[in-house]
Structure 1
Amino acid sequence: MNTVKYHVFFRRVSTAGQDIAMQSSADAPFREKLLPEEIMIIDEYAISANKLSVHERPEMQKVISLIKQERVHTLYAFDRTRLFRDSYEAQEFHDLRRKYNVNLMFTSVGNGHIQATEDIFLEGILNIFSDIEGKSIARRTKEALRRYPPKKIGYEKIKETKHYCKDPQKKKMLEQYFSSLLEISTIEELTELLSGFQKKLKLSLIDIARDPFYAAYDLSKGENRLHHVEPYIDLTTFNRIQEKFGTIFDSYLERIGKLDAQNAYTPQCGYCRRPLHYRIDEIKNIGYYSCSRKHGKVFITFTDLAKVIQLVLEEIIHHFDSKKLLNQSLLRFREIRKKMEDEIDSIETQLNEIMENIILNMDDYSNDWKKEPNYKRMAQLKHEKAFLLEELSDKEHLLLENKMVVEAVEDYLHSKSEVNPSLLFTMFVHKLIVYQNEVDIEVSMFDYLKDLKTDFIYKGEEIA
């Protein structure tokens, strides 16, 4: 079965303020030579290839996934730096596209830019140069921002002199913060101190306490005094804070990170049917979901909700008829595939007939061949074929998802391993609805559950 292959145009800008128009203009001549259905555009905004690995770039992951699905004919980019800065990642990508016979075209014109080649050694050298150039730019930018940041909490920047003076509106708050900071000795005391500040400012205050800029120093390469900065604390006090509170700061950030990472579900309020808000109580060290609109207050801790979900998922697993799901899925997919393949064969026959007609009557066509009915009909048939192939691919993915459900269930039943709540939740739970004293879980694939109880009473650690 043939798969539609795209000409993928990939563009990337490192910051939100940069304009992607230059890259779009550079690839326009290439796009003009292609049919609209052959083109796929993937734009990556405000992503630094120096700071993020390929696994942290969703749009680049999309490109790689398309290549592995053999759906890419040619990849276009402005130059090598738009794809990768890291030479190792660039070389791995070079090997990947060669494996799947994907062409690579750079749209940049001039400046001595060398087009993509199949020479592994040459590509490796060029990727190293790109890596060095990117890291050099990033290093110089970082050094400049350390000494002359565009904005800094607690400071006003005087453009004419490039001096940083204390912000009158935040001066008192920051002076009190530094003074109070010297009096704490535990993570609990730090949490109490930060709880008095706005939520958006809390994590910034940790960064402020660790930033030598507030002592009017740059410590990246020795002790460099920043004479254009009005200090909040002296260097001795800054060093004392780092020695005394470094571990406490790390522990606080780790605690907040774990609480934020818990937000894995999207429960709805049982009364207003809007999503519950996830919040954290730093002092109690808990995360919870709540809704306080014009109805009875809904509140449930993440821990309690997670236990209810896990216990219900275990019940679902034990009553799930996986063989019935897989058998019905396979039968249905075969029916759909047979029907679509017949339609594709019919289209192929029509395309061959039209092509024969064009060849036999080639002299009858004018210069404006795109307006001829046969050519227009061919374009329409190609579009219909592409649509059918996409549909067939989507149905195949649905079948694979059902196979994943069966594999997850069988793995749990055979190994008796702990349930992976986030994986099974996405597979089986359609809606999660929370009331004051009740949680409703709407289960998808309910037709494949045998003798499952529909009401459970949760008592702390148990479900009855």
Structure 2
Amino acid sequence: MEIPQYIDSKKLYDEFVIVYSRVSSAQQDIQKQILLAEAYVNNHNYKKESVIWLKDNDVSANKLSMDERPALQELRILLKQGLIKTIIVYSRDRLARNFYEYVSLVKEFYQYDANVIFTSTKQPPFSKKLSIEALYGIFAQTEGQSISGRRSDTNKQYPSNIFGYKKLGRKKDTKYVPDDNIQKELKTFLLSVKKVDNAESLFAILLTYKKILKNKKYDDLLRYLQNPFYSGHMETLYGYEQLRHVEPIISLDDFQNNQLKLKKLKNEIFDAITLASSHGIIIPHCSICKKEMTFRTSELGKSSYYVCKKKHQEFMIPVNVYNDLISNHLNEVVGSISIEKLKGDLLAYLRHLQTEQQQNLIVINRKLHKIHKEMTENYSAQSNAKLDKLVQSSRRIKENIKEIHIIIIKIEEARKGINDHIRMIKVNMIVEMQGFDLYYLCHLFFSKIEVSNNSLIYHVTFGRYFEKGDLDELRA
């Protein structure tokens, strides 16, 4: 009997049922969602082998997008393969807290003809009208924002840790009292802004208290000045609300006067802090000793800089100059890379992976065929225990086959994705790259950057793909 190359996973069962569950923190219990789903599965007599259980545990839909939630991504992959007819989930907000993400998911459910079952009694049935589901999506987003707002309000009233205070008692009896070890210096700092007339005088205050207040960062000091907690209040939509469990260090009037001054100087403050404390996109190395250089913050209004740990003092470079040089040179490096060489290697590797998985399918299908043959030819002679063992082996192999099919689909999608990216890069590579984070791009293309007395030496990750030859080092 000829063994087929593979078993089509679509034919293993009439339909697959996905049970998706999600909780946003480790403290929440996901079991409630699972128990309700189990009851639905049992009441509707689904075959256990056809039910796939997916869980996003400790995954916040407020903080993470759809693409960052592993189980939801697996659900979408199975959906696009046409394997899912039913999705069981506790409620709409388990799928998404964002209106646009929820609508996008619903469109995928419609496209692949999947029915959605909500096990929560408070959830209206899934509608085939997008306008209705979109409305429910708005409710899910509003509730998510409400939860996020409540957490923020709680943290404003009862922070777990705040500089300059000691937290006493628990729960409703919690009180915050100033820390005697730092209270005097902190109060003087918070009140010193009253004397500020311009950005330079504020810079001088921040520089002075950066050392006094345990060498805090400029950003930290600015947050202290903007936090009404130090006046025994919290900010709400309706103004400032008194926190009676907090002993204030300054008055509310002094705090509000500080905000008026900071508001006038905010752009200058932000630019100065950024300049004085910004790090290099990549940590530079000294071209003599090959060691990482040391970062130094500077006075406000001046650029931070790097110096050699071994005191090669001639090798000092300001961060703003260093980052500008890297950013400008990145375009030159990327423009020198041969897209066709890179594409060829990537496609060859993906073909290798695909062939490897297809060969794996052949081997596994032979095992499955052997088990099925043994089950049918010796059925009457086999004990129940042995037959059960063969059935279990068959199920494990079928599950393995399904997983391999998913891998093959992902590889094929990756191959298509490469073509899309190559096409985009060919049209307008440099322009498109401006939307990406320079930090990740530079770490991708530069393995190391060395500083000499008159140049930067770039060690390029993709040197072999350069149009001009197999270079791994450039000077600029």
Structure 1 position 428, deviation (Å): 3.9
- Code of the aligned partner of 2:468: K
- 1:23 aligns with one of 30, 34, 44: 30
Does structure 1 residue 239 correspond to structure 2 residue 253?
A: no
Kindly report which structure 2 residues correspond to 1:108-147, keeping only aligned pairs within 5 A, or say none. 112-114=121-123, 117-120=126-129, 123=133, 127=137, 130-131=140-141, 133-137=143-147, 139=149, 142-143=152-153, 145-147=155-157
Structure 1 position 192, deviation (Å): 3.1
- Code of the aligned partner of 1:159: G
**d(CA) in 2 for partners of 1:428 and 1:366?**
63
**d(CA) in 2 for partners of 1:61 and 1:244?**
47
Percent of paired sites with the same residue: 20
Aligned to 2:185: 173
**d(CA) in 2 for partners of 1:244 and 1:257?**
19
Structure 1 position 175, deviation (Å): 1.4
Cα pair distance change 1:113/1:363, threshold 3 Å: farther
> SS state of the match for residue 242, structure 1?
helix
- 1:59 aligns with one of 60, 68, 82: 68
> SS state of the match for residue 197, structure 2?
coil
The answer for unaligned runs of 5 or more in structure 2 is: 1-5, 11-15
Map Cα deviations across residues 356-409 of structure 1 (whole Å, 9 max, x no partner).
664565555554467534752663475267347526734863784487367525
Aligned to 1:441: 459
**d(CA) in 2 for partners of 1:3 and 1:257?**
55
The answer for unaligned runs of 5 or more in structure 1 is: 459-464
State whether residues 26 and 78 of structure 1, in contact with CA within 8 Å, keep that contact through their aligned partners in structure 2.
yes
**d(CA) in 1 for partners of 2:316 and 2:272?**
21
Kindly report which structure 2 residues correspond to 1:33-112, keeping only aligned pairs within 5 A, or say none. 41-45=55-59, 47=60, 49=62, 52=63, 55=65, 59-60=68-69, 63-64=72-73, 67=76, 70=80, 73=84, 79-87=91-99, 89-101=101-113, 104=116, 112=121
**d(CA) in 2 for partners of 1:318 and 1:163?**
60
State whether residues 43 and 59 of structure 1, in contact with CA within 8 Å, keep that contact through their aligned partners in structure 2.
no
Aligned to 1:461: none
RMSD: 5.0
State whether residues 307 and 317 of structure 2, in contact with CA within 8 Å, keep that contact through their aligned partners in structure 1.
yes
TM-score by length of 2: 0.69
Does structure 1 residue 383 correspond to structure 2 residue 400?
A: yes
Aligned to 1:185: 197
Structure 1 position 425, deviation (Å): 3.9
Aligned to 1:12: 23
Moved more, 376-385 or 212-221: 376-385
- 1:408 aligns with one of 425, 432, 446: 425
**d(CA) in 1 for partners of 2:288 and 2:334?**
29
Aligned to 2:13: none
- 2:448 aligns with one of 408, 424, 432: 432
Map Cα deviations across residues 42-77 of structure 1 (whole Å, 9 max, x no partner).
3345x472xx4x64x763488358626836847665
State whether residues 231 and 248 of structure 2, in contact with CA within 8 Å, keep that contact through their aligned partners in structure 1.
yes
Aligned to 1:211: 227
Does structure 1 residue 450 correspond to structure 2 residue 468?
A: yes
> SS state of the match for residue 232, structure 1?
coil
TM-score by length of 1: 0.70
Moved more, 253-262 or 240-249: 253-262
Cα pair distance change 1:310/1:451, threshold 3 Å: farther
**d(CA) in 2 for partners of 1:174 and 1:6?**
60
Does structure 1 residue 393 correspond to structure 2 residue 401?
A: no
Structure 1 position 182, deviation (Å): 1.4
Aligned length: 443
